[in-house]
């Protein structure tokens, strides 16, 4: 860190905020990142954090066991609110995952250098978020041991999935997304696993990373095919990530329920997904860089850029809310108008106002450079936005289902202890997996950082 | 492996910068060597051309995988919805193709991605736990900060002394013989 800071509005500030702090060499970036995995002893902080998360995962196990024993009646769902927390949480988690793919694929195609130090853990975040997301529809089916009915397989009953249903599209979209994210992540990890293998001191580390790296030897022939497939995967993952949340929004938009049946849903869901995903990347990046001293690699430039992406996608989301309202009144459809009024004045209006505060009003502070450059402010902001995006899904799912066409079909919904326990449990699972990830695998793509060092050495100043 | 397994795999030159390595690769190619490989801690622009690799087959494999996934995906849905399990809902068409697009798209991406990755592994002959270059102690630096060029012994022009001289002239820091035995 420099001793004298110029004023924040000075034109040099961008120069002073590199994507990689100067003075790093190939060896220093490799050492620093690999050391987190290979040599650093388990700190008390890691152990305490892991223990806490592990106990929360136990809450998840209890909640799910009780669910399997008693059935979905232990949740707050009822008729007409058949979806409840399970689908709210599903959409929330899958949305969080999207930022990882956006960073690793779209920013790669756009040649954004600042993606390099955040893509690896953002992709890990994607995988863990998709795992948490996938759990919810599965346990929501009530008989999860029959979930395989959703896949097309030649059964003795001679029945096949209904491919005209968005719920089946969802099965294919989410499982494809999970698979492609996993292989994209693994391909990216391959050279780094080889790096760890080469640097490992203990026999068990050499064996584990040796097996995982599959004999990668940094050969030019390897890199030749590797770069080709990496670029192609980025190109494939880009439309994929857009399609996944589009398909998730079809779960709602294809139904004729008031408040769901709108064409703004796909783009507004995708923007919301990226919005919450970037918030989650910040939530993870800020403690991670602090705990492992990675401030040289995850610089203020990264935080600033992510804040800007949040601001931009937040505005798209705000536009989505506006269009929902506008179209409700413009259409003149009395059910849509009624639903819009219910959001403002109905029994769940406090959720709607909280959502507006979290997702639209608070993020406007990100226009100010002072806020974008304050690490604690960004951390708080990221938590607020994640809460806001959860509330958004709650508003969409619950308000529409409680205020259907006929007053006789109206209802009320309130979550039970087990709903909250399951949500909390998946947060624990997600965090626990992240804890394991930072100790088991390089949280920053080492080979890409070396490439960045080479690049920075060649193009001093031009950016 | 029909070839005779020579105990000498090749000669490995260690370079400090990517530029030296690319220059050395060019030089070796100009001198007529064809069987060589480089080892670098990150992909280096221009190295594939300097060594003379042909275009990667990965894009073709990916394309074929995508086509197979897409056709298979649509075919699966058509077969399910129109042939083996037709459900007549108010006389609506059984081949309701617009409703089949999302799954067709997903399976196209899935097929392309899996084939691309499997193709990359196959072309790189991975997994391959043993390779002679791992016998060189300093080779671990190939994943940190050193750049290596290996001229392989099965090159028709290979001659130990000449190859070593060529690498040294190209400013290699260390020149090591790579043995194909433990």
Q: Are A326 and A280 in contact (CB under 8 A)?
A: no
Whole-model pTM: value is: 0.91
CB contact under 8 A, A195 and B47: no
A161 touches chain B (CB under 8 A): yes
Contact A280, A386 (CB under 8 A): yes
| Residues forming a β-bridge with B36 | B151
Separation between Cα atoms, residue A238 and residue A108, nearest integer Å: 10
- Which residue in the set A194, A195, A226 is minimally distant from B120, CB to CB? A226
Say if the Cβ atoms of A225 and B117 lie within 8 Å: no
CATH of B1-40+148-182, picked from 1.10.1740, 3.30.70, 3.30.1490, 3.40.50, is 3.30.70
Of B56, B100, B116, the CB nearest to A163: B100
Digitized pLDDT (tens) for each residue of chain A, 463 residues in all: 444 544 444 444 445 467 787 788 888 888 888 888 888 888 888 999 999 999 999 999 999 999 999 999 999 999 899 999 999 999 999 999 998 888 888 888 888 888 888 889 999 999 999 999 999 999 998 888 888 888 999 889 888 999 999 999 999 999 999 999 999 999 999 999 999 999 888 899 999 999 999 999 999 999 999 999 999 999 999 999 999 999 999 999 999 999 999 999 999 999 999 999 999 999 999 999 898 888 888 989 899 999 999 999 999 999 999 999 999 999 999 999 999 999 999 999 999 999 999 999 999 999 999 999 999 999 999 999 999 999 999 999 999 999 989 999 899 999 999 999 999 999 999 999 999 999 999 989 998 889 888 888 776 544 4
Considering the domain boundaries, does residue A462 fall inside one? Answer: no
> Do B22 and B46 contact (CB within 8 A), yes or no?
yes
Q: Give the whole-angstrom CA distance, residue A385 versus residue A359.
A: 6
Q: Give contacts of A163 with chain B, Cβ < 8 Å.
A: 77, 80-81, 99-100, 103
- For A383: left if phi > 0, alpha if psi spans -120 to 50, otherwise beta; the answer is alpha
Asked whether residue A84 is domain-assigned, the answer is: yes
Would you kindly state where each structural domain of chain B is located, as residue ranges?
1-40+148-182, 58-123
Band of residue B118 on the pLDDT scale cut at 50, 70, 90: very high
Chain B interface, best mutation among A186, A229, A446, by max B CB count within 10 A: A229
Q: Which residue of B has its CA nearest to A450?
A: B42
pLDDT on residue A1: 41
**Residue A219 has what DSSP assignment?**
B
Taking the alpha carbons of B127, B133, B139, B143 in that order, is the dihedral positive or negative? negative
> Which one of A217, A239, A250, A449 makes the best mutation probe of the B interface by having the most chain B beta carbons within 10 Å?
A217
Q: What angle do CA A86, A88, A90 make, to 5 degrees?
A: 65
Q: What is the rounded distance in angstroms from the CA atom of residue A208 to the CA atom of residue A415?
A: 44
Instruction: Give me the count of residues in chain B.
Output: 182
Q: Please give the Cα distance from A297 to A293 (Å, whole number).
A: 9
Q: With beta carbons less than 8 A apart as the criterion, state whether B51 and B36 touch.
A: yes
Q: Which helix (H) or strand (E) holds A134?
A: helix A119-140
Cα(A295)–Cα(A279) distance, integer angstroms: 18
CATH code at position A431: 1.20.1630.10
Percent of chain A with pLDDT over 70: 95
Nearest partner of A323 among A279, A373, A268, judged by Cα: A268
The shortest CB-CB distance from B40 to any of A164, A216, A223 is to A223
Residue A137 structural domain: 18-150+163-454
- Domains identified in chain A, total number: 1
What are the pLDDT digits (tens) for B10-34? 899 999 988 999 999 998 988 888 8
Tell me which H or E stretch contains B179.
Answer: strand B174-179
- The model's pLDDT over A391-409, given as tens digits with 9 standing for 90+, comes to 999 999 999 999 989 999 8
Query: B42: distance to nearest CA of chain A, Å?
Result: 5
Distance from CA of A294 to the nearest CA of B (A): 18
Distance from C-alpha of A354 to C-alpha of A381, rounded to nearest angstrom: 14
Q: How many CB atoms lie within 10 A of CB B182?
A: 7
Q: How far apart are CA B77 and CA B94, in angstroms?
A: 10
Number of A–B residue contacts, CB under 8 Å: 184
Closest residue to A454, CB basis, from B42, B119, B143: B42
Structural contact between residues A441 and A189, judged by C-beta atoms closer than 8 angstroms? yes
ipTM entry: 0.91
Model pLDDT for residues A141-153, shown as the tens digit of each residue: 888 888 888 899 9
Question: Does residue B140 register a pLDDT over 90?
Answer: no
The per-residue pLDDT for A460 is: 55
Q: Considering only residues 7 to 46 of chain B, which have any Cβ-Cβ distance to chain A shorter than 8 Å?
A: 18, 37-44
pLDDT of residue B40: 92
CB contacts, 8 Å: B86 with chain A: none
């Amino acid at each position: 860190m420099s001793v004298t800071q110029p004023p924040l509005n000075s034109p040099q500030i961008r120069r002073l905020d590199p994507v990689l702090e100067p003075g790093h060499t190939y060896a220093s970036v490799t050492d620093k990142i690999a050391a987190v995995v290979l040599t650093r002893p388990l700190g008390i902080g890691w152990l305490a954090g892991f223990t806490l998360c592990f106990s929360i995962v136990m809450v998840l196990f209890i909640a799910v066991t009780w669910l399997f024993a008693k059935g979905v009646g232990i949740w707050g769902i009822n008729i007409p609110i058949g979806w409840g927390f399970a689908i709210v949480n599903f959409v929330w988690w899958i949305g969080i995952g999207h930022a990882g793919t956006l960073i690793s694929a779209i920013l790669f195609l756009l040649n954004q250098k600042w993606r390099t130090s955040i893509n690896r853990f953002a992709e890990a975040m994607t995988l863990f978020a998709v795992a948490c997301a996938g759990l919810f529809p599965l346990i929501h089916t009530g008989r999860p041991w029959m979930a395989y009915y959703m896949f097309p397989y030649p059964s003795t009953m001679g029945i096949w999935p209904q491919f005209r249903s968005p719920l089946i599209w969802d099965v294919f979209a989410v499982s494809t997304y999970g698979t492609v994210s996993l292989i994209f992540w693994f391909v990216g990890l391959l050279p780094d696993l080889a790096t760890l293998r080469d640097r490992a001191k203990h026999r068990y580390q050499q064996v584990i990373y040796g097996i995982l790296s599959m004999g990668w030897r940094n050969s030019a022939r390897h890199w030749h095919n590797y770069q080709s497939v990496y670029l192609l995967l980025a190109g494939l993952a880009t439309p994929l990530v857009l399609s996944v949340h589009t398909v998730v929004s079809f779960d709602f938009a294809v139904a004729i329920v008031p408040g769901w049946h709108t064409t703004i849903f796909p783009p507004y869901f995708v923007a919301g997904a990226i919005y919450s995903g970037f918030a989650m990347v910040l939530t993870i990046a800020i403690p991670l860089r602090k705990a492992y001293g990675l401030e040289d690699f995850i610089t203020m430039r990264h935080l600033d850029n992510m804040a800007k992406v949040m601001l931009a996608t937040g505005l798209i989301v705000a536009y989505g809310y506006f269009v929902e309202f506008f179209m409700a009144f413009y259409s003149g459809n009395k059910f849509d108008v009624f639903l819009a009024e219910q959001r403002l004045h109905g029994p769940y209006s406090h959720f709607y106002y909280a959502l507006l505060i979290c997702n639209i009003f608070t993020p406007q502070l990100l226009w100010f450079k002072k806020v974008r450059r304050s690490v604690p402010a960004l951390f708080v902001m990221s938590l607020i936005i994640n809460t806001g995006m959860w509330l958004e899904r709650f508003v969409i799912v619950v308000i529409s289902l409680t205020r259907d066409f006929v007053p006789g079909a109206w209802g009320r919904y309130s979550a039970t202890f087990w709903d909250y326990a399951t949500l909390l449990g998946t947060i624990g699972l997600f965090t626990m997996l992240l804890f394991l990830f930072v100790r088991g695998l390089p949280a920053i793509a080492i080979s890409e950082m070396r490439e960045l060092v080479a690049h920075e050495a060649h193009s001093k100043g031009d950016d | 492996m029909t070839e005779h397994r020579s105990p000498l795999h090749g000669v490995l030159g260690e370079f400090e910068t990517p530029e030296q390595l690319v220059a050395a690769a060019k030089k070796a190619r100009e001198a007529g060597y064809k069987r060589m490989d480089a080892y670098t801690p990150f992909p280096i622009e221009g190295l594939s051309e300097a060594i003379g690799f042909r275009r990667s087959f990965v894009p073709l494999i990916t394309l074929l995988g995508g086509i197979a996934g897409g056709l298979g995906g649509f075919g699966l849905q058509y077969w399910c919805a129109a042939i083996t399990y037709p459900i007549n809902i108010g006389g609506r068409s059984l081949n309701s193709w617009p409703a089949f697009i999302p799954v067709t798209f997903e399976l196209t991406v899935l097929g392309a991605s899996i084939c691309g990755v499997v193709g990359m592994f196959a072309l790189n002959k991975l997994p391959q736990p043993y390779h002679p270059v791992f016998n060189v102690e300093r080779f671990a630096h190939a994943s940190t900060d050193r750049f290596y060029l290996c001229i392989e012994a099965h090159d028709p022009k290979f001659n130990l002394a000449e190859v070593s001289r060529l690498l040294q002239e190209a400013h290699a820091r260390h020149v090591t013989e790579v043995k194909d035995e433990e």
